[in-house]
Amino acid sequence: MNTNLNISHSHEVKSPRRLMLEIKDLRKSFGKNHVLNGFHLALYKGENLVIMGKSGSGKSVMIKCLVGLLQADSGSIKIMDQEINTLNQSDLDTLRTEIGFLFQGSALYDSMTVRENLEFPLRRHKSKMDADTSISELVNNALEDVGLLHTIDLMPAELSGGMKRRVALARTLILKPKIILYDEPTSGLDPITSKEIIELMRRIQGQYKTSSLIITHDIDCARVVSERILLLVDGINYVEGTFAELSTSKDPQVKAFFK
Ligand SMILES: Nc1ncnc2c1ncn2[C@@H]1O[C@H](COP(=O)(O)OP(=O)(O)OP(=O)(O)O)[C@@H](O)[C@H]1O
Ligand SMILES: [Mg+2]
């Protein structure tokens, strides 16, 4: 099934870049459902890597293994050179604060105001705060970053879908993660709001020099934000390349995504 097209890409000739995240031979099954069958990836500093794949191909499962919401059956996951399998719980918790995760949907706490939603990760990870900056300052700054300071005292139910997504992004940014994982950041949004989110993702990458894994079906999103795209088929890497390379591929499995 894996035809190993191995499209080369221009990034390979650049000087060595810092490896932020490395996954090797990741496997995960649920009973007889073999979801991940030896998946691998490398994410470099400052880079946006887009992951595409059919619904049910294991994209969210992969990200959940990465953040510890699911336990992989086997394989290696290195976050900034540290193999997560070898870390104790407290070191793992610290390392995971370097990773921001924007869930599929926005997953705000419905019973909390916008302010309380943003305060939540800060109270859990006090060690990430420097003594000079107050919680309210951090919350204000993060909301300003996404252009939504005026919503600070609103409840999630009072926000539009796009606003919820931006608040969730502000909540992810508040711990200043080095790596951001986006699971379908533009799904369910109208084209104009999608464009706003895409621009915001670009701006965050420029401003904070973050590296990101972005799961998306949205061709515009992939075109604008990606340095590289990886296509996942049957739980394994099918092909990897730039948008220009993949969008002009003659391979039917690849073409299906770029129609
Ligand atoms: N907690 C779980 N228990 C059992 N099976 C699961 C669990 N989570 C996911 N799966 C199965 O793993 C497979 C991959 O699911 P996953 O959510 O990763 O798909 P996806 O690629 O993210 O799809 P989509 O594009 O629709 O979000 C599916 O067959 C799903 O039923
Ligand atoms: Mg998913």
Give the chain's mean pLDDT: 88
Q: Residue 251: pLDDT band by 50, 70, 90 thresholds?
A: very high
**71: CATH:** 3.40.50.300
Q: How far is the CA of 163 from the centre of ligand 2 (A)?
A: 21
Q: How far is the CA of 129 from the centre of ligand 2 (A)?
A: 31
Q: Give the separation between CA 48 and CA 179, rounded to whole angstroms.
A: 10
In a domain, 39, yes or no: yes
In a domain, 164, yes or no: no
Q: Residue 17: pLDDT band by 50, 70, 90 thresholds?
A: confident
What does the pLDDT look like over 168-181, one tens digit per residue?
Answer: 999 988 888 999 99
Q: Whose CA is nearest to atom 4 of ligand 1?
A: 30
Range of the domain at 217: 15-46+58-98+213-259
In a domain, 120, yes or no: no
Task: Name the pTM for this structure.
Answer: 0.87
What does the pLDDT look like over 131-161, one tens digit per residue?
Answer: 677 889 999 999 998 899 999 999 999 998 8
Residue to probe by mutation, ligand 1, list 51, 52, 59, 221, most atoms within 8 Å of CB:
59
In a domain, 183, yes or no: no
In a domain, 152, yes or no: no
Nearest ligand 1 atom to the CA of 56 is 19
Q: Is the CB of 53 under 6 A from ligand 1?
A: yes
Q: Residue 255: pLDDT band by 50, 70, 90 thresholds?
A: very high
Q: What are phi and psi of 97, to 5 degrees?
A: -70, -15
Q: Is the CB of 56 under 6 A from ligand 1?
A: yes
DSSP string, the chain: ---------GGGGSPP--EEEEEEEEEEEETTEEEEEEEEEEEETT-EEEEE--TTSSHHHHHHHHHTSS--SEEEEEETTEEGGGS-HHHHHHHHTTEEEE-SS----TTS-HHHHHHHHHHHTGGGS-TTS-HHHHHHHHHHHTT-GGGTT--GGGS-HHHHHHHHHHHHHTT--SEEEEESTTTT--HHHHHHHHHHHHHHHHHH--EEEEE---HHHHHHH-SEEEEEETTEEEEEE-HHHHHT---HHHHTT--
What does the pLDDT look like over 200-246, one tens digit per residue?
Answer: 899 999 988 999 999 999 999 999 999 999 999 989 999 999 999 99
Nearest to 204 by CA among 184, 176, 232: 176
Ligand nearest to the Cα of 64, by number: 1
Please give the residue that has the higher pLDDT: either 7 or 176: 176
Q: Is the CB of 58 under 6 A from ligand 1?
A: yes
How many domains, in total, are found in the chain? 1
Q: Is the CB of 71 under 6 A from ligand 1?
A: no
Q: How far is the CA of 170 from the centre of ligand 2 (A)?
A: 21
Q: Whose CA is nearest to atom 31 of ligand 1?
A: 56
In a domain, 86, yes or no: yes
